[in-house]
Amino acid sequence: MSNDLKNDVLKNIYSRRSVRDYLPDDVPDDVIRELILAGTYAPSAANKQPWRFVVIKNRELIKKLSGKAKELWMEQAAKSSQPELKSLASMVSRQNFDIFFNAPLLIMIFSDSDAFSPQIDCPLAGENMMLAARSLGIGSCWIGLAAPLGQDPAIMADLSVPDRCKLEGCLIFGYPVKLDQKAPKRDEDVVLKWIK
């Protein structure tokens, strides 16, 4: 697409990157509220709006959650014969590896139990939040390695998450050390068939 056809929304989409290196600066609360509001404007099946958020700015707690997720991954790998899981456990077992990349803000997205399709709705909310963050000069990253935290009842109780809620995703946010990272080349041959 030529540059003259790109509007601000498209430029924002094409420039969003997964950020894994953050400045120590805090994200202001009013900006966090804006990110969450953007998330709530995502589409949801039957307009259930199932997303619920836990916002964590406490860096000690974020480090604790990173450590717990690493521990859970290593436990899973010890019981598995899958080479991919063993490789993942090797990566997360490094002492200084932080699955949240020292980001100053972690937002966990949960779904409420009456959701019709939370596995679709909540990631849509997360993408809205990441695009909103990019438009505000804030970096973000979806952290799949945090998924096991949702299966730990003690962690969920510590976060005051009701039993009816399920962890759907974890996002980190912060001011990136390098804002304008170049996107890797995209494969343009992705259309299986174009029917007119």
Backbone angles phi, psi at 110, to 5 degrees: -115, 155
Show the tokens assigned to 176.
């990136």
Measured between alpha carbons, how far is 162 from 174 in angstroms, rounded to an integer? 27
**More confident call, 161 vs 80:** 161
HSE (side-chain half, CA atoms, 13 Å) at 108: 23
* pLDDT at 92 (0 to 100): 85
Name the β-bridge partners of 110.
52, 167
Sign of CA dihedral 44, 46, 47, 50: negative
Strand partners, 109: 53, 169
Q: Which residues, 6+ apart, have CB-to-CB distance to 53 below 8 Å?
A: 36, 39, 107, 108, 109, 110
User: What are the extents of the domains in the chain?
Assistant: 18-174
Question: Over the stretch 116-134, which tens digit does the pLDDT of each residue have?
Answer: 899 999 999 999 999 999 9
- pLDDT category of residue 41 using cuts at 50, 70 and 90: very high
CA angle 107, 113, 119 (to 5 degrees): 60
Longest dimension (CA), the chain: 56
| 179 pLDDT more than 80 | no
Question: What is 18-174's CATH topology?
Answer: NADH Oxidase (3.40.109)
What is the predicted pLDDT for the residue at 75? 87
